[in-house]
Amino acid sequence: MQTSFTAEQLRDPDTQVANKVLRTCVHCGMCTATCPTFLLLGDELDSPRGRIYLIKDMLESGRPATAEVVKHVDRCLSCLSCMTTCPSGTDYMHLIDHARTYIQNTYARPWHERLLRAALRLVLPVPGRMRLALQATSLLRPLARLLPSRGTFFVRLRAMVDLAPRSLPAPSSVERPQVHEAIGTRRARVALLAGCAQQVLAPQINEATIRLLTRMGVEVVVAKGAGCCGALTHHMGLHDPAMDAARANIAAWSAEIEAGGLDAIVINTSGCGTTVKDYGFMFRNAPEAEAAARISALACDITEYLSRLGYVPTRGTPGLTVAYHAACSLQHGQKITQEPKTLLAKAGFTVAIPAEAHICCGSAGTYNLMQPEIAGQLRARKLANIDRIEPDLIAAGNIGCITQLSGGRPVVHTVELLDWMAGGPEPAVLAGRAS
Amino acid sequence: MIVQHEPKQEVLARSAAILDGLRAILPASNVIGDALRLKPYETDGLAAYRQPPLAVALPTTTEEVAAVMAYCHREGIRVVPRGAGTSLSGGALPMADSVVLGLMKMNRILEIDYADRLAVVQAGVTNIGITNAVSAEGFFYAPDPSSQLACMIGGNVMMNSGGAHCLRYGVTANNLLGLKIVTVDGQIIEIGGAHCDAAGLDWLGLITGSEGQLAIVTEVTVRILRSPEGQRAMLAAFDAIDVAGACVDAIIGSGIIPVALEFMDKPCIHACEAFAHAGYPMDAEAMLIIEVEGSTAEQDELLGRIRAICDRFNPISMKVSNSVEESMAIWKGRKGAFGAVGRISPDYLCMDGTIPTSQLPHVLRRIGEMSAECGLGVANVFHAGDGNLHPLIMFDANDPESFHKAETFGADILKLCVEVGGCLTGEHGVGVEKRDLMTVQFNETELDQQRRVKSAFDPDWLLNPSKVFPLKLPAARSLTLAAE
C-alpha cells in the first residue's frame, strides 16, 4: 500500500517499522473475515484493514490521536487472528503496539478511563495487590446490584465485579524464587515464568507444571527478580512500565543462564509467552538487544516444551471429552496449534474442536474489563459453539480465557490434565467426573 | 488519481443536512460523516484508486436500505454500494458526493432448505459463510472466488463472481435462484425464488453482474449442492510457462473437465509457498493445480488420464495430494495468491482478462515480453481451464511513474485478450479499472444499448455511475429517449 511519510519522519526507528508494515499490506481485505469485532459490528473501521488505515493516517499526519481513532483502536482485541489470515505477511502486531504507544503519548483519555487504567496497571501485575483487590471486590459484590447499568464507567465496574471469582484459592509456595529439583536423573534445566495474575487466580497451574516437569527429570527454576512479563502494560500503550518489567525478567533469566545454564524458559500463560517471545523486537535498539534476543529464543510454551521432551501418560484413559479452546495468543500470536491437541489426545482424552476455533473468546488481557459489551458477546458466541460439541470439560492454555469461559462447564489449563494423566492429582474442578 | 463524474456541488453544499437525513433513518452510530473515519472507506481491494465519500450508511435491514435509497433518490444523491470491499476492479470506489451504502451488517443466514437444496441469506454473508453453514449436512455453495473467505454474496451477485471450481459448477449466475432487491427509488422487489426458472423476462440474469448500477441486492437465494464423495488435487510442474499453457489446452481439448484447473508461475509459486507451506515445486517455471472429484475409482481413472496428457509435455514433477490436509494447503496457497504477492512486491494491479484456452501459450509468451519491455515484473496465477487470466503487475505505489507504467501495461494485456478473441473481464467486473477499455470491446451502438438498460432502472444515474462505462462517451440520443 502507498504511504507518504516524510524523510524526517522515517528517521524515527518506530516509524520505519510502521512504514514497512503498511507497505506489506496490499489492502485485499481477507483479514476482515476473521476479525471478531468486524464479525460483530460489520464496520470497516472495526476491522484490521480499517484500523491499519486509521493508524496510517494518524502516523502520516503526525497529529495527536483523536477520540474517533482511539475508539476503534481500543476495540481491537490484539487477538492477531488477522495475522494468521493475512497472505502478504503484514505484521499487524507491531503496528497496533506502536499505535497504542502513540495514543498513550498524544491523547488525553477521560478521567474515568485514566483511573481504571491506572488501577489495572498498579494492581494486576503485583500478586499481593491483586489478591487484596479481589477480596475487596468480593465484599462489594452485594452492592454491585445497586450500580447504575448505564454509563461506561459503571458498566466496566460491574464487569469487574462479575469477573472476580467468588472465592480465592490459597496462595501457593511454589512460585517463590527457588529451584525445584528434578526427580531422578536431570535431563534439563528450565526457568518457569511464575507470572502475576495467574498465580492469584489459579496457583494450581504452576503447581501442575512444576510437578509434571520435575517428574520428567527437569529442574525448574523460579528466578529471583523475575515477575510480570510486561504484556499487560504493553497492550495499554504504556511503553516504559512494560520495558521495565521486561528488563527485570531479562536480567533475572540472563543471571540464571550465567549461573547454571537454561535449556528453555517455560511459560504456561500464552498471553505472556507471546510477549516474552517478542522481547528481542522490543529491545532491538536497546543495549539489552542481544540478551533480549537470547531470552526470546529460549522462551517456549509449556505444550511446545512437553512435545519436545516427549510426554508419556501413566494413567489409563479417563473417558472424558475435552473441548480444546485455542487461546489466540497461542494459535495466532505464537502459531502453536497442534501441540496442545496432540498432547491431550496422547494423554487419553477425546479432543473436540468447537466451530469458529480461530475466533477470540473476548478475554484478551484486560479487554473484558475495558470493553465488556463486545467481550460479553464473544464469550456467549464461544460458549454456544463449545456447547454444541457437548464436552465434559474445557481446556485452554491461557488464564485469561480460563477466567472468561468459567461459570458453566469446568475449565482447566491443558497442563493440569497432562499432569493428572502422568501421575498428578485430578484437577479439583472435575470432582470425580472421570469414568 | 482516477477521473470520476464531477461531484454535484449542490449535494456537497448540503452535506451536514444529508448526514442529519441519514441519521433520521439509521441509528447515529451506523452513519459515518467525519473526514477521519471516512478515510478507510475511500478504497477497496484496488487500493491504487481512492476517493473518500460524503457519508457511509450501514443499514441492518432491507427496509432500512429502502429508506436510505428513497431518501437519496429524493435528494438527488449518488449511492455507491459496498460489501466486504474486496473488489479488484474498484467496484466500490466512492465518489466525493456519494453515500457509500455498506451492507456488511446484514450478515444473517435467513433460511436453509436441504430438501429443496437452497439457502436464503442476507447480502453481507460471506461466500464461505454459506458453505460453512451447510457443510455439516454435506452441502456446499459452489462458486469460490479466491477471496471467498472475506467477499460477500451481495458483491458476488453484483460482479457475477467466478472462482477455481467454476470450471465445473458455473459462476454465480448459474447458482442463483432468487434475489430481493431495492430499486433506486426505494421499492423492494423480489425476483426469482425457490424454483429454477422464473416466468417472464430473465430479471435475475439482468441484475447479476450489473455492478451496483441497476439496484441494491439485499437478500440472495442460492442453490446449494451435495458435497462430492471425495476430491483430490494434483500438482504438475513444468519448466516453461507456455508449455504449461499448452498442457492446459490439451487437457481441456481432450474433453476432460476437471473441477478445477489452475495455473501459477514461478514468482507466484514462491510467494504462495511462503504463506501456505503446501509443498509446491520451487524449481518449476510454472505449475498446474488440477482437482478431480467423485468416488475413489472415478478420481483414479480421471487422474490417470490427466497424468498421461501431462506426460506428453515433459513435466519436471507430478504429485497427487495424499490427504485432506495436503489438499487444503494446496488451495490455501492458491486462494491467498494475490495477497501473497504482497510478500514480493509492495503493490500490484490484478488483471482479469479471459481468452480461448488455445491462445494461452501465445498470450503468456507475449505477457512475458511486454513485462521485459516495460521493466515491471508480473506474476501469473489464474483459472486456466476457463482461460481466465490474472496477471499481477508488480509496482511501487510510492513511485508515481511506476504506477503509470503498470496501468499502461495492464491496459495492453487486456487489449491483447480482446485481440485474440477473448474479453476484458472474467469475474472481477469492469469497475473503474477497465471502464475506459470498454470501447476496445464494444462499439458505440453496443455501449448505448447497455447504457439504455441502466437508464431504464436508474434514469438519473445515481447508482454507482462512474463505473463500467467510459465517462467521455457522448450522451447518446437513445439515452435521452430512455430517460423520457
- Set of cell numbers at residue B32: 459515518
Query: In chain A, what are the domains?
Result: 9-106 (1.10.1060.10), 119-163 (no CATH), 178-307 (3.40.50), 311-430 (3.40.50)
Number of alpha carbons in the 13 Å side-chain half-sphere of residue A308? 15
Q: Which residues, including other chains, have CB under 8 Å from residue B432's CB and lie 6 or more apart? A: B2, B4, B46, B49, B89, B90, B91, B93, B466, B467
- At A147, the pLDDT band (50, 70, 90 cuts) reads confident
Q: What is the mean pLDDT of chain A?
A: 94
Which residue in the set B147, B274, B348 is minimally distant from A30, CB to CB? Answer: B147
The side-by-side arrangement of strands in the sheet containing A321-325 is A350-352, A321-325, A393-396, A411-413
ipTM over 0.90: yes
Cβ pair B149:A69 closer than 8 A: no
For an interface test with A, which of B26, B104, B277, B348 has the most A Cβ atoms less than 10 Å from its Cβ? B104
**What domains, with CATH codes, occur in chain B?**
9-102 (3.30.43.10), 109-226 (3.30.465.10), 231-419 (3.40.462.10)
Q: Is B43 at the interface with chain A, CB within 8 A?
A: yes
Other CB atoms closer than 10 Å to residue A136's CB: what's the count? 10
**pTM (global) more than 0.90:** yes
* Coil, strand or helix at B291: strand
Lowest mean pLDDT among A31-35, A147-151, B113-117: A147-151
Q: What's residue A162's pLDDT?
A: 81
Establish if A38 touches chain B: CB-CB under 8 angstroms.
yes
For residues B456 and B483, what is the distance between their CA atoms, to the nearest angstrom?
7
Q: How confident is the model at residue A149 (pLDDT cuts 50, 70, 90)?
A: confident
Flag if A24 and B48 touch (Cβ within 8 Å). Answer: no
Is B270 at the interface with chain A, CB within 8 A? Answer: no
Report residue A85's pLDDT band, with 50, 70 and 90 as the boundaries.
very high
By C-alpha distance, which of B87, B104, B90 is closest to B32? B104
CB-count burial class (<10 Å; 0-12, 13-18, 19+) for A356: middle
Task: Of B264, B285, B286, give the one whose Cα is nearest residue B275.
Answer: B264
A45-71 average pLDDT score: 97
Tens of pLDDT along chain B (484 residues)? 688 999 999 999 999 999 999 999 999 999 999 999 999 999 999 999 999 999 999 999 999 999 999 999 999 999 999 999 999 999 999 999 999 999 999 999 999 999 999 999 999 999 999 999 999 999 999 999 999 999 999 999 999 999 999 999 999 999 999 999 999 999 999 999 877 777 788 999 999 999 999 999 999 999 999 999 999 999 999 999 999 999 999 999 999 999 999 999 999 999 999 989 999 999 999 999 999 999 999 999 999 999 999 999 999 999 999 998 899 999 999 988 988 998 899 999 999 999 998 999 999 999 999 999 999 999 999 999 889 999 999 999 999 999 999 999 999 999 999 999 999 998 999 999 999 999 999 999 999 999 999 999 999 999 999 999 999 766 544 444 444 4
Buried/exposed A3-18: b ≥16 CB within 10 Å, e otherwise: bebeeebeeeeebebb
Query: Given CB atoms, is B342 within the 8 Å cutoff of chain A?
Result: yes
Answer whether B105 sits within 8 Å of A3, measured CB to CB. Answer: no
Instruction: Output DSSP code: residue B388.
Output: B
Share of chain A above pLDDT 90, in %: 85
Which range is least confidently modeled, A162-171, A303-312, A338-347, B331-340?
A162-171
**Region A305-318: what's the mean pLDDT?**
96
A13-24 and A48-61 helices, crossing angle to 10°:
140
Beta strand A393-396 with A321-325 is parallel
User: CA B68 to CA B128: how far, in whole Å?
Assistant: 28
**3-class SS string, A51-75:** HHHHHHHHHHHCCCCCHHHHHHHHC
Q: Which H helix or E strand runs over A275?
A: helix A270-276
Candidates B45, B149, B341; nearest CB to A27:
B45
Residue B235's DSSP bridge partners are B289, B319
Report long-range pairs for A240-245 (Cβ below 8 Å, ≥24 apart).
Answer: A241/A121, A242/A282, A243/A282, A243/A283, A243/A286, A245/A125
Task: Please name the residue that has the C-alpha cell 435467513.
Answer: B110
pLDDT number for residue B475: 57
- Chains A & B: contacts with CB separation below 8 Å: 123
B379 CA: distance to closest CA in chain A (Å): 14
Looking at residue A435, what is its pLDDT?
A: 56
In terms of pLDDT, which residue wins out, B392 or A166?
A: B392
**Mean pLDDT within A320-335:** 98
Q: Which stretches within A107-217 are classed as H helix?
A: 111-123, 127-144, 152-163, 197-201, 203-215
Question: Does residue A146 have a pLDDT over 60?
Answer: yes
CA-only gyration radius of chain B, Å: 23
Find all residues with CB under 8 Å of A431, minimum gap 6, and list them.
none
Partner-chain contact A26 B348, CB within 8 Å: yes
Is B109 at the interface with chain A, CB within 8 A? no
Q: How far apart are CA B430 and CA B352, in angstroms?
A: 9
- Give dist(CA A337, CA A270) in Å, integer: 12
d(CA A136, CA A157): 13
